[in-house]
Structure 1
Amino acid sequence: MDIRHLKYFMEVVRYRSFTKAADSLHVTQPTISKMVKSIEEELGVVLLDRSGKHVVPTDAGEAMLQQAQLIVNAFDSLSSDLADIVQLKKGKIRIGLPPMAGARFFPKVIGEFRRQYPLIRLELIEDGAKKIAQNVESGSLDIGVVVLPTDGELFDSFAFVRENLMLLVHPAHPLASAESVPLQALKEEPFLLFRDDFALHDRIPAACIEAGFQPNVVFESSQWDFISEMVAADLGIAMLPETICRHLDYRRIAAVKLTPPGIPWHLAMIWRKEAYMSYALKEWIRFAKEKLAPGSGG
C-alpha cells in the first residue's frame, strides 16, 4: 500500500462511485477497483459496501478514511515543505564568524542574502577561528570562517582575503614613524594578544619564536577593539589585519608594516568534506563566493 492507494480509496468514498472516482483521477474504473481491492486484501477487512446503488464505507472503511486523511494531509504538507526547501524558500544555516571577519566582511553579504532569501534563517555564532574549526568538524556549525592554513583532509574551503598583520603602537612609541619594523625589534615589547581560541593567539608567538624570541604577553582579549584601545592607552603593542587598521584613529594609534615576509592573515570559509549539504548551505556558499570575490564590491 502506498499514498496513491489511499488517495484512490478516498476519492471512491468522496464520489460514492468507482466510475466517478476514476473519471476524477483520470484512470480506468478497473484500475481503481483493483487498487481498493488490494488494500482490503492487505488489511484483511472489507472497506466498502458495494451492494447498494452507491458505494459506501463500512465501519472499517470509516476508520480507514479518518487515518487515510491524516496520512495524505501529512504527505501533502511534507511535499510542500520539501518544495520550499528545494526552491530555497526555507532553511537554516549555522555560520561561525570570528569578530574581525564578521565585522568587516559580512554585514553587507548577509544583508543581501536575507533580502534575496528572507525565509532562510542565518544563525550567526561569533567565536575564535580555532573554536569555529572545531565546531564545523563536530557538525555543530554548518560553515565557518577561519584563518588559513586549515586541514585539507577534513574541510573544503574557499579563500576570500589575503592580507598581512600590521604592528600597532602608541603614536609616541619610537617605532611609530618607522616605514616597516622587523619582528626582532619587538623582543622587549609588551604584547597585547588574542585569547587562546583565536588563530592569532598561536600565529603571532610562533612568528616571534621563529624570529628568535619569546614574546612577552601582558594581556589577552577576545575583542580587537579593546586590544586597540589598550594600544592607544600605551599599555603595549598589538598586531591586527590591514582591514581593521584602516578603520583606526591614527591620531591615537600608529599602524606600521612588518618587514617582509611579515605575518599573513588569510581568511577562508570552510565546511566538512563529504558531509550532507542542505540546499540553503549550497546557495550560501555560491552567493558568498560571488559577493566576496575580488572586484565584486562585496
Structure 2
Amino acid sequence: MDFKQLRYFHEIVRLGSFTRAAEALYVAQPAVSVAIRKLEAELDLTLFHRNDRKVTLTDEGTRLLPHAQRILQAVSDAQLEMQELKGLTQGMVRVGIPGMLGSYYFPPILMAFRHRFPHLSLQVVEGGTWQLQQMLEGGELDLAVIVRDFVPPELEAVTIQREEMRVIVPKEHPFAYQASVSLPEFFAEELVMFRPGYFHRKIIDRLAQEAGVTPKIGFETNLLPLIKSIIKQGFGISTLLTMVVKEDPELVDLPFEQPLWLDLCIAWRQAGYLSRANRAFVDFLLEQSAH
C-alpha cells in the first residue's frame, strides 16, 4: 500500500462517499475507485460495503482505519518539521476551546498572542470537551483546552488555569442569602445545563451519579446568554465559572458546600509533533497563567 491509497481511503471514510472524496481531493472519481480497488487487491480484503446511498466500512476496513490515521498524521508531522528546518517564518495554530472559556477567558489572550506573533495564524474552534478531544486525537486540531479530569492517556497536558465552578442563582433566590449550597440542595432545584459533551455537563452528571440522584434539567442549551437569561427569569439555576457572571448584578454566584475546583489544561497528542507555532502558543499560555 502507498500513501496516496491510504489518503484516498481516509477521505472516503470521512465523507462517506467516493464522489465527495474525489471532490475534496481534487481528483477524478474513477482515480479514487481504481486506487481503492488496487489497495483491496493488494491486501486481498474488501474494505468497503458499497451501495447507492452510502459507503460504509467492512470489519477489515474498520481495522485498517486507525493505522491509516496514524500513518497520515505521521507524514503530516514529518512534512511540518521539515518545513520548519528550512526556516519557515509562518505558521498556523489550530486550537479548540470550550464555550465558556472561549467567550470570557480567551479573547484577550488570543489578541495578545496575535500582537506578539503577528506572522502566525490562529484557527479557533469552539466546542464541547468530547468533541474537541476527538478532533485533537484525529489530527483536526493541534491543541485543545480540556479539564484535567478528562485528559485521556493518549494526550499530553499542562495546567494553565484553576477555576471554581460556582452555583449561579438570581439575586431574589433563597440560595442568594446562603454562604454555600450543598449538593442535595442543588439537585433539588430545576437546572439549566449545557448539552451532553461539555465539561460543565459532564461534571454535573458525574456529581449526580455519585450522589445517586437524577438531575431535574428543565433547559438544555450551549448558549451562555440564554442560560443567564433563564436564570434571571427564575426558571432554573445552574453552575458556571465565576468569570461568566462576575460583572452581572442580576446574578449571584456562591460556592458548593465542598468547593468544586477545575484544573484547565492545554493538551496535544502525545505522539504528535508540536510545531514551533504551537509551542509558542503553549509557552504564551503558561506565561499568561503565571501572571
Shorter-chain TM-score category? 0.5 to 0.7
The percent identity for this pair of structures is 26
Residue in 2 aligned with 1:3? none
For residues 96 and 221 of structure 1, what CA distance do their matches in structure 2 show? 19
Are 1:219 and 2:216 counterparts? no
For residues 286 and 136 of structure 1, what CA distance do their matches in structure 2 show? 19
Alpha-carbon deviation of 1:85? Answer: 7.1
Residue in 1 aligned with 2:284? 287
Aligned partners of 1:86 and 1:279 also within 8 Å: no
For residues 152 and 202 of structure 2, what CA distance do their matches in structure 1 show? 19
Render the CA deviation track for 1:211-232: whole Å, top value 9, x for unaligned.
3421101111112222111100
Alignment of 1:48-87 (within 5 A): 82=83, 86=87
| Segments of 4+ moved more than 4 angstroms | 81-85
Q: Secondary structure at the match of 1:210?
A: helix
Residue in 2 aligned with 1:254? 252
Alpha-carbon deviation of 1:136? Answer: 0.6
Aligned partners of 1:93 and 1:142 also within 8 Å: yes
For residues 254 and 115 of structure 2, what CA distance do their matches in structure 1 show? 39
Residue 275 of structure 1 aligns with an amino acid whose one-letter code is G
Q: Secondary structure at the match of 1:149?
A: helix
Alpha-carbon deviation of 1:278? Answer: 1.6
Residue in 1 aligned with 2:146? 146
Alignment of 1:35-54 (within 5 A): none
Q: Against the structure 1 CA distance between its residues 181 and 288, is the aligned structure 2 distance closer, same or farther, given a 3 Å change threshold?
A: same
Aligned partners of 2:142 and 2:268 also within 8 Å: yes
Are 1:104 and 2:101 counterparts? no
Residue in 1 aligned with 2:238? 238
Residue 269 of structure 1 aligns with an amino acid whose one-letter code is I
Q: Against the structure 1 CA distance between its residues 287 and 181, is the aligned structure 2 distance closer, same or farther, given a 3 Å change threshold?
A: same
Q: Secondary structure at the match of 2:177?
A: coil
Q: How many residues get paired?
A: 211
Residue in 2 aligned with 1:201? 201
For residues 283 and 277 of structure 2, what CA distance do their matches in structure 1 show? 10
Residue 209 of structure 1 aligns with an amino acid whose one-letter code is Q
Are 1:177 and 2:174 counterparts? no
For residues 257 and 212 of structure 1, what CA distance do their matches in structure 2 show? 21
Alignment of 1:20-39 (within 5 A): none
Aligned partners of 1:144 and 1:271 also within 8 Å: yes
Residue in 1 aligned with 2:167? 167
Render the CA deviation track for 1:132-179: whole Å, top value 9, x for unaligned.
111111110000111221335211111122122111112222222101
Alpha-carbon deviation of 1:83? Answer: 6.5
Residue in structure 2 matching 1:275, options 272, 275, 286: 272
Question: Unpaired runs of 5+ in structure 2?
Answer: 1-81
TM-score, length basis structure 2: 0.67
Render the CA deviation track for 1:165-194: whole Å, top value 9, x for unaligned.
111112222222101110111333111000
For residues 118 and 108 of structure 2, what CA distance do their matches in structure 1 show? 15
TM-score, length basis structure 1: 0.66
Aligned partners of 1:241 and 1:265 also within 8 Å: no
Question: Unpaired runs of 5+ in structure 1?
Answer: 1-80
Say what the alpha-carbon RMSD is for the aligned residues: 2.2
Alpha-carbon deviation of 1:255? Answer: 1.6
For residues 212 and 176 of structure 1, what CA distance do their matches in structure 2 show? 26
Aligned partners of 1:204 and 1:263 also within 8 Å: no
For residues 130 and 95 of structure 2, what CA distance do their matches in structure 1 show? 14
Alpha-carbon deviation of 1:116? Answer: 2.3
